[in-house]
Structure 1
Amino acid sequence: MDREYTYLNCLAELGVGGAHPGGFKLTQEILSAEHIGKKTTVLDAGCGTGQTAAYIAQQYGCQVTGLDHHQLMVEKARKRIRSLGLPIQIVHGNTEALPFADSQFDLVLSESVIVFTDMPKTVQEFRRVLKPGGCLIAIEMVLEQPVSPQKLAHIKDFYGVSRILTEEQWVQLFQEAGFPSIHSEKYDLQFGVQNVPDFSLSEDVDVKYFEMLEHHMIMFESTKEILGFRVFRCKTV
């Protein structure tokens, strides 16, 4: 696949918000169960176009920082935040080397981000920037059942990821990063269902990106029994 036409570039050019498993509705449901107050410091890691970061600031009135590695996503997030007049800092940075001090955040939210990175580095960085008693909430795809090497290679190639982990492998990854308390939850949602995406289109979007989005939907239908997702709550002490 031409490296220019990647899944992440597709999301950026189309400005897709809520593209993660479960979509924005799941995000709202998850956050409603957390104890978020005005003094809570939140990092939306891989914030995309800023949909979730804006919601958290508006809903809870707390201090929110958004970070994304994709420059176009950062630009679109900053535009959203300016239009809403919200006091949110949007940072261009890498989850594998976060530009933040140790123990800076009470909550790190990562919505289908870790799988696209060097996973051990990213999880270790999330652990580093969390305060004692802080929490990482990660929504990530999981491999639900064995699949042929050819099929798995096709999925990884399309999404541009190096590995797709089982639930047990995810738990091990979080444990190795130093999280002493890990809770995994499977929601009664299909991968991507109940997700009404929020779009912020670039000008003159290449038609190939629309074709990629269609390919993604076809992929979703053909892998529903193979790919699922979990919400991981990883606590520090």
Structure 2
Amino acid sequence: MNYTYLDSLATYGVGGAHPGGLQLTKQLLAREKVNRKSAILDVGCGTGQTAAYIFRQYQCYVTALDNNQVMVDKAIQRFRSLHLPIKVVKGQTEHLPFKNETFDFILSESVTAFTNIPVSLSEYKRVLKPNGVLLAIEMTAEPLPFTKKEKQFICGFYGVSDVLTETEWRYHFLKSGFRQVKIKKHKHHFVPQDVMYANDFMLSNQIHEKHYEILEQHQQIVSKYKDKLNYRVYRCTV
């Protein structure tokens, strides 16, 4: 069976695997005007670590969405064990099952890069309320260019169509209708912590050794291409 990088993250149930981890998420949300009336969508919620934090911290309306059934099941398990009234939806970012202007905030933590980017961004714009905010932590290529062979390898391993530069990300956000895009580069590298030593796991009952090999290869890629592959935080307003 051909397992993917995302399959491996789901099988291990890694929480906070996105660049910067939960700590970065906390910092970003602390700068926003989140209150009890806020409606927040966590796209690609994974095991629900971020969504659980948001509800416990802000007591607001939280919806968690993922297209991976393993992740959805683990998120539901987490929320039930913590008695959190968070809505969990299985769905795709390219076809969000929500009405127009539903959310005040959308979080995308290393998610949108793995989708059809223009379509997903258009959907984010559609379901955000006027003055709504998209907070995206996304894989970004540095100005030092990849060779054609390197880019093909990276795209093949992660299952993405391209590795966008900061300029290309900005172009897509603006083309999708976001009126303001603020970009911040953090000091940390692409993945500051080794996902194999993260402190939040929800392991599946059976784990094929191939999953471990895939996550090990991920770490090797991060190290090898540290000067070419990083991430940015994109704050986009409607």
Q: TM-score range by the shorter chain?
A: over 0.9
* Identical counterparts, % of pairs: 49
Number of matched pairs: 234
In structure 1, what is the equivalent of residue 153 of structure 2?
154
Q: 1:25 to 1:194 in 2, by over 3 A?
A: farther
1:201-226 per-position Cα deviation (integer Å, ceiling 9, x unaligned)? 10120011011111111111101101
Partner of 2:133: 135
C-alpha separation in 2, matches of 1:74 and 1:114: 17
Calculate the aligned-residue CA RMSD, in Å: 1.0
Equivalent positions of 1:1-237 (< 5 A) are 4-144=2-142, 145-194=144-193, 196-236=198-238
Is the 8 Å Cα contact of residues 136 and 235 (structure 1) preserved in structure 2? yes
Q: Do the aligned partners of 1:19 and 1:197 also contact (CA within 8 Å) in 2?
A: no
Quick one: which amino acid aligns to residue 111 of structure 2? V
> Residue 192 of structure 1: CA displacement?
1.0
Structure 1 position 21, deviation (Å): 1.1
CA contact (8 A) 1:23 1:197 kept: no
Structure 2: gaps spanning 5 or more residues? none
Cα distance in 1 for partners of 2:115, 2:176 equals 15
1:28 CA drift (Å): 1.1
CA positional deviation for 1:47: 0.3
**TM-superposed deviation, 1:18:** 0.9
Q: TM-score, normalization: structure 2?
A: 0.96
With over 3 angstroms needed to count, the CA separation of the structure-2 counterparts of 1:147 and 1:168, relative to structure 1, is: same
> In the TM superposition, what is the alpha-carbon distance from 1:34 to its structure 2 partner?
1.0
What amino acid maps onto 1:168 in structure 2? T
Aligned with 1:110: secondary structure? strand
Over residues 122-152 of structure 1, what are the superposed CA-to-partner deviations in whole Å (9 max), with x where a residue is unaligned?
0000000000010000000111021111111
| SS of residue paired to 1:219 | helix
Secondary structure of the 2:24 match is helix
Change (3 A) 1:211 1:194: closer
- Partner amino acid for 1:171? R
